[in-house]
Structure 1
């Protein structure tokens, strides 16, 4: 958010042509999508539930050939059967929609089997479910032969050491050996880790010349393979970018096609891979998809779909989505303006100490937007955002200390805050700092007031603001330049053109 809320100090301080603040445009943009009834609070679900573990080893995507399924087929009973009996996490127990977020308490039933007892474990009280007992069994389902095959393969996988050897070679820096070892490992067992590592090594040219098409081939093997529930990405707001191996491959493919790494740029494919990652509960992908729909990247623009995706990601405490949603409601350019709802989403993002959200809350408390005006709360949020490094908040907080409003007047703190914000190219802070330098305000006790050095610095800051397109700053810099000596002009030039 880039809205400056306090009067720039320059006009009263510089003795130069006034530098008025830029005004917020008043032109209204007709909303494309009007959301439902405004709200003053929002719902946050918290972390996506992690699928419960079990002491019985889960069987992976290659467990049984006749149990193949389509990732996007949400109502196929063969999929349910495969997941229930081979993975222990079928949609019939977890949720009614693959890729949806199962609420806590669901998905606890485990119907896996020991690879040493494919017919059922008497000791564990487990027995084989026959087609007569389970209406989801079909002639094309997972037969006892499939279970026997899966058990044998799983036993081999537990004994296999090829993946360990491959990682050991990689960690030792022997990339050619690691490359071949990962290929052997994938050929033997079909490890997700091996496919991802091979894609990465070809993409970065480790152990072989860089080959993006080979990388895509290996990423595809994982990203588009038969799905097992371990490839879902449980979301944790404290570690939002954590992704399953399958999702990592999908994201790499999406980025390759977005950026056109050795392949033609393909927005449609990029969107498809982000959508695939989103269906595996990777919340950041839902946020990216929302941005696609908002901008029209890879498809026609659809603000309604963007709002739905932003909301979904925001409800799981994904801060970028919360901020984007809050901005939509705050500005009201593409949806109907709803300041209370914007305030609610900024408030959620602020709980994770996001500087932009802290500053937005300060602004809204300061101006009484979507909430009753409260100068004390505004100041508190300005302080939090300023400490977090937000340049607009630093500029606003500095004006409190400069004027002595609410807090005790302290020109040295004001100058330090203006300088911190100016170093981040905050234009109003740059002008305010120039004004204080010219008046010799806020200098350390052992420094002379209005020194030649400070005059040069003030001129430099005004020139830098002028480069940002502020015409009044350019005019002020020209007038100040007439006061500079040749030596000062030379010094300023050295600073501006190092």
Structure 2
């Protein structure tokens, strides 16, 4: 699955330090370990240099880590195009990686990241918004790898009717798969659908349970909307529904222990 058509030399573009002398590493693994040590020690420049050495040999985790660093501006200038091209290298080289391997989570994460870039495009670059390709990326991560972020992203598209027919039932199916894996945003949206009966049979007690799990496990600063959704639904719930939610929650916790 090719993802980076349009770049004159996508590998060169994705490796801005490749013109610098590389060396001092006994192996790809040694370069990766050195990069992670430097990163953890706060030496992001040293980390990038070592990780790029490993990435140029096709080391999956190094490619992924560099993609995340450029996507977040973590120790490097924020550059979505460079991030896109690192993730593209993973998708192009390792799309057939079997689920369950040590590399698989990084491959599936790369597909999810690419889906996000295709959804919105990257301003001033050859990466244009292409919702159908975004759907393909999320679908692959969600179905082949069972990636909860991919499942959540795909569910959001079905909820909004973006690139796919609007289908709350399909959205609920993908949300449940992600929610069962502990994905807090998916738990919150699934809970809200169950309380309202949108796309699924109305089950307010079960919906309140998912909303409680989402709220308790979420980052209050990053996901304030989850707490707001929880509080709104609980305020409107009957006492019987609240008691049922507590019973479901106790059963869920026992099952997970």
In 2: Cα distance, 1:309 partner to 1:319 partner: 13
1:224 is aligned to 2:25: yes
1:366 is aligned to 2:155: no
> 2:187 maps to what in 1?
394
- Kept in 2, the 8 Å contact 1:395–1:428? The answer is no
Which residue of the other structure, out of 286, 298, 323, is the alignment partner of 2:63? 286
- Kept in 2, the 8 Å contact 1:394–1:420? The answer is yes
- Kept in 2, the 8 Å contact 1:361–1:378? The answer is yes
Aligned residue runs from structure 1 range 136-155, under 5 A: none
Which residue of the other structure, out of 121, 124, 143, is the alignment partner of 1:332? 121
Aligned residue runs from structure 1 range 23-422, under 5 A: 36=5, 224-225=25-26, 246-260=27-41, 265=43, 267=45, 269-294=46-71, 303-315=80-92, 316-317=94-95, 318-334=107-123, 335-350=127-142, 351-422=144-215
- Kept in 2, the 8 Å contact 1:415–1:433? The answer is yes
User: 1:329 Cα deviation (Å)?
Assistant: 1.6
In 2: Cα distance, 1:428 partner to 1:336 partner: 29
SS of the residue 1:423 aligns to: helix
In 1: Cα distance, 2:174 partner to 2:115 partner: 17
- Kept in 1, the 8 Å contact 2:69–2:76? The answer is yes
In 1: Cα distance, 2:164 partner to 2:233 partner: 34
User: 1:354 Cα deviation (Å)?
Assistant: 1.2
User: 1:298 Cα deviation (Å)?
Assistant: 6.5
User: 1:256 Cα deviation (Å)?
Assistant: 2.8
> 1:165 maps to what in 2?
none
User: 1:416 Cα deviation (Å)?
Assistant: 0.5
Q: Which has the higher contact order (CA 8 A, sep 6+)?
A: 1
- Kept in 1, the 8 Å contact 2:38–2:47? The answer is yes
1:384–1:273 Cα change, 3 Å? same
In 2: Cα distance, 1:310 partner to 1:387 partner: 27
- Kept in 1, the 8 Å contact 2:195–2:233? The answer is no
User: 1:431 Cα deviation (Å)?
Assistant: 2.6
- Kept in 2, the 8 Å contact 1:310–1:322? The answer is yes
Larger radius of gyration: 1
Higher mean displacement: 428-437 or 383-392: 428-437
In 2: Cα distance, 1:271 partner to 1:327 partner: 24
Q: Give the superposed CA RMSD.
A: 3.0
1:298–1:363 Cα change, 3 Å? closer
Q: Give the number of the structure whose residues are more often helix, by fraction.
A: 2
- Kept in 1, the 8 Å contact 2:54–2:62? The answer is yes
1:247–1:399 Cα change, 3 Å? same
> 1:433 maps to what in 2?
230
SS of the residue 2:28 aligns to: helix
Deviations 1:27-65 (A, max 9, x none): xxxxxxxx648xxxxxxxxxxxxxxxxxxxxxxxxxxxx
User: 1:299 Cα deviation (Å)?
Assistant: 6.2
- Kept in 2, the 8 Å contact 1:419–1:429? The answer is no
1:311–1:418 Cα change, 3 Å? same
Runs of 5+ unmatched residues, structure 2: 7-17, 96-106, 247-257
User: 1:375 Cα deviation (Å)?
Assistant: 2.9
